[in-house]
Amino acid sequence: MAKKSRTPAPPRKVQAPQQRKDPRRARSLPGGKWVALLVVVALAAIAAAIVAVVVARGGGNNNSSSSGAQPASLIGLQTGPAPWNPGLDTLPDRTDAVGVHELTTEGEVLHIHQHLDLFVNGKHVAVPAGIGIYGGQFLTELHTHDASGIMHVESPVAKNFTLGQFFGVWGVRLNSDCIGGYCQEVTPWTVYVDGQPYSGDPATLVLKPHQEIAVVIGTPPKTIPRKYKFPPNT
């Protein structure tokens, strides 16, 4: 006799497990939004302070020394006795290191002039024409047009330039010990500004309008120039 098949029981409904609610987690900290806001404000203040310090120190993307001192590894640097040539052969190799640019026109935002006298053992030595002017292809912010000794500082931006940068464009060594081939332990020298000795590193001397700068090497001349009569409109 065949067995009767049993009808299977209907499936039981299974209730999905419910997530346990922890009242401690649901409860927010007192004043949580204000605490978060204060944290954001504090972080912003710290970031602003860091930026201010970086700006005050002059940043870190300047190719030349932040003090204005002349880099010691300039290509084509003249380290012999005066007179010195305009240093044009290797000028394109020095512009970045000196911190100047190859301009197609003279800058107009900053346009000032100084006068440079060079004396070696009491004799006046001319500053050459064409310093910083590269064969009609470009000129730098620091240059000379003639042999009068007038230095032209003409830049598209307002910033300070130094005597060390000018000598770097010229391709002549200038630091606290040596000018060209003249070093203090062998041939003493002094740099004068408006007739007064400059006691610091002459390479860091900031160029200002109508300065009379005299580089006196060895025996000084009878008179140290105190000023220069610039042409009108210079």
Q: In whole numbers, what is the pLDDT of the chain averaged over residues?
A: 82
Residue type, 38: L
Q: What residues are paired with 183 via a beta bridge?
A: 178
Q: Which of residues 120 and 36 earns the better pLDDT score?
A: 120
- Per-residue pLDDT for 187 more than 60? yes
Mean pLDDT of 193-217: 97
Predicted TM-score of the model (pTM): 0.72
How far apart CA 154 and CA 197 sit, in angstroms, is 26
Q: What is the pLDDT of residue 15?
A: 47
Q: What is the pLDDT of residue 38?
A: 55
Which 3-state string (H, E, C) describes the chain? CCCCCCCCCCCCCCCCCCCCCCHHHHCCCCCHHHHHHHHHHHHHHHHHHHHHHHHHCCCCCCCCCCCCCCCCCCCCCECCCCCCCCCCCCHHHCHHHHCCCCECCCCCCEEEEEEEEEEECCEEECCCCCCCEECCCEECCEECCCCCCEEEEEECCCCCCEHHHHHHHHCECECCCEECCEECCCCCEEEEECCEECCCCHHHCECCCCCEEEEEECCCCCCCCCCCCCCCCC
Mean pLDDT of 208-231: 97
Q: Which of 67-81, 135-149, 215-229 has the lowest mean pLDDT?
A: 67-81
pLDDT in tens, 12-61: 554 444 444 444 444 444 455 554 555 444 555 544 444 333 333 333 33
pLDDT in tens, 73-108: 899 999 999 999 999 999 999 999 999 999 999 999
Q: What is the pLDDT of residue 31?
A: 55
**Cβ atoms of residues 199 and 205 within 8 Å:** no
Q: Which of residues 35 and 200 earns the better pLDDT score?
A: 200
Confidence of residue 3 (pLDDT cuts 50, 70, 90): very low
**Cβ atoms of residues 230 and 198 within 8 Å:** no
